[in-house]
Each structure stands twice: as C-alpha cells, then as structure tokens.
Structure 1
C-alpha cells in the first residue's frame, strides 16, 4: 500500500512540475517495463511540448518536450523488493517520415529520484540517477496522434558514488494525447 500511495503522490507532483504552457501538446504515457536483471515494472508519464526551437535546427529541427514520470520497478523473484522512481527529462523527437502514420525517433537525458538504492543484486548507491533514453514511437492511426513507443532506458549515477551498477530497461508505452 505504501508503494501505491508513493506512486500516486509522485504522479501528482510530476504533473504539476511540467504544467503545460498555453497551446502546448499534452500527453499521458502508460507503459510496461522489463529488465534482463529480472526486474519488471510500470511507468506513468505526463509530457507537454510546445517548442520547435530554431536553436535546435543544427540537430535536424527536433521538437522539444518536457516529461515527468513515476516508475515502479519490482524484483521478479521477490515482489517485496521494489523501487519507486520520480523522473523529469527534456525529450527530443525527430519525425522520420512524412506519411499519415509517421515514425519518430526520441532521445533524452534527465534525472530521477529513487526511494531505494538497491534492488535485487543491483546496487545504485545514490538516490539521484540520470535517466538516459532512446526509442521509436509510431503514430499507428492517421485519425489520432496516439502512438505506441518502444524505448531503451538506462539509469545510472554517472559514477558520482560507487558502486554504480545502474539499471537497463526495455519498455512499451501507449502515448495518449489529451
């Protein structure tokens, strides 16, 4: 029950931190997470994007979004071994084709706060972790901006403190425009 309350509290805080600017595109991301280290989990994210900054033209003119999320990770071998993580990150998105159902490349580096510093045999040392991600998102219908996203995400403290085992996740998200 404590994890559920933490998850809901962090979801509300994360939504407030990235409150949308007028005219922004708002989305909710709901997804499942898996790690080869026998971890599984879920992610609830909120993204707002209103920027197509010209200073990013050198990088192929991506759109810039800001995303906050709450992650819940659980050890597949011991359900009482879990971590709740709050993350916030800028995300760059490049549209890869001009079809009615486009494909997007997404990448971002942000930060996370975790409530435990160990899960399974993975020792993370610090409650602050960088969140690095790369993924593909596909707008599966020409009638909606909803997308399916596949991502690889790495969490690490960048050797701020040892041990720095880090965590690697593969995930599938459903992106729902609001």
Structure 2
C-alpha cells in the first residue's frame, strides 16, 4: 500500500511539474511566437578598411531573422543568423573568407508615412566563425569573432513587407585576444523581405 501510494504521489508531482513547465514556456514563448514573422535580407557592399588606407573590403551577405519580440510598436528585439563572403582588395594576403554569425538585433521604428516607415537597427556581440584568420593585411587571433552592425532604412509595401537600407558591418574579437584587427565593410546596401 505504501509503495503504491508513494508511486502515485511521485507521478502526480511529475505531472504538476510538467504542467508548470509547459505554462512557463507558453508564457515566455507566446509573445515571441506571436511576433515570429521571419525576414530575409540580401546585402552587398564595398568600402575602405579603416586603419589601412591601402585596403578595401567587399561583402555579399544573406541574413535570416526568424524571431522577433515586440517590446512596443517602436522597439523590436530579434535573433538571426548571417552568412557573408568578404573579400580584400588592394592588399597582399588572404583575399577572401566566410563569416557565419548568430546575432541579437534591436530595431527602433520611426514614424509611419502612409505605407512607409523608417527604422534603425543595431547588432552587437554576434558570435561569428571566420573561415580564415586573416583578410588582406588584417589579422584575427582565432576563427572566433563577433559581428556588429548599424543599419538605417525604410519599410514599404502594402504590409510594409519590403525594406531597403544602408549598413556598416564590423567583425572583431572585442580585444579578447591579440591580434584583433577589425574587418569592416563600410557601406552595404541591403534589401529585405518579410515573409
């Protein structure tokens, strides 16, 4: 009798914990899932490498941003992933590399003008894998880096499902190790589509 009662009590306790965990996940996940309108971004750009007047860098990138959390109509927090191909121009050394990143992103929305809305985005501390530790004359201590980006643009379309923006993108290891020569693309044009 004791063993049956003990087993039954353990089962009830597990079920209660399971319900609490499910409710907790729904509580935190529901706002994120409700705002989970994925977006796809294609970008390309070129510009001088700050700190090296003989080198310029170009990039082509594809960014996938599947999760958004609306803190308000003006502020969105997002999580995304990026694949970028960087090339160095005008300097000897490794001429190209891949940068694969995960990133948090803050979007600040401006006022509406009909079907158009301005916005500003900031990314920081996005863990990145670099396929090479150098690009032209620029060197990183390891394959690990962090992505940062600032971007300004405009949403347009019937549902504001299209976007066009300009961005500045940077990769470095935040001085966690030396050398830490930043890799920059100083001008990128990006187009986005909300799915």
Unaligned runs of 5+ in 1: 1-19
Is residue 57 of structure 2 the alignment partner of residue 44 of structure 1? no
1:50-69 equivalent positions in 2, closer than 5 A = 50-53=68-71, 62-69=75-82
1:82-161 equivalent positions in 2, closer than 5 A = 82-100=96-114, 101-109=116-124, 110-142=126-158, 144-161=160-177
Provide the rounded CA distance (Å) in 1 between the counterparts of 2:165 and 2:79.
Answer: 16
1:12-23 equivalent positions in 2, closer than 5 A = 21=33
Larger Rg: 2
Is residue 50 of structure 2 the alignment partner of residue 34 of structure 1? no
Alignment RMSD: 2.3
Deviation, 1:140, is 3.5
Deviates more, 1:83-92 or 1:165-174: 165-174
1:157-168 equivalent positions in 2, closer than 5 A = 157-168=173-184
Q: SS where residue 95 of structure 2 aligns? A: strand
Q: What is the TM-score normalised by the length of structure 1? A: 0.77
> Given that residues 42 and 190 in structure 2 are in contact (C-alpha distance below 8 angstroms), is that contact kept between their aligned partners in structure 1?
yes
Larger relative helix fraction: 2
> Given that residues 49 and 63 in structure 1 are in contact (C-alpha distance below 8 angstroms), is that contact kept between their aligned partners in structure 2?
no
Q: SS where residue 98 of structure 1 aligns? A: strand
> Given that residues 129 and 155 in structure 1 are in contact (C-alpha distance below 8 angstroms), is that contact kept between their aligned partners in structure 2?
yes
Query: Which residue matches 1:6?
Result: none
> Given that residues 170 and 182 in structure 2 are in contact (C-alpha distance below 8 angstroms), is that contact kept between their aligned partners in structure 1?
yes
Aligned length: 154
Query: Quick one: structure 1 residues 125 and 112, their matched pair in 2 at CA, closer, same or farther if it must change by over 3 Å?
Result: same
Provide the rounded CA distance (Å) in 2 between the counterparts of 1:161 and 1:49.
Answer: 31
Q: What is the TM-score normalised by the length of structure 2? A: 0.71
Unaligned runs of 5+ in 2: 1-31, 50-55
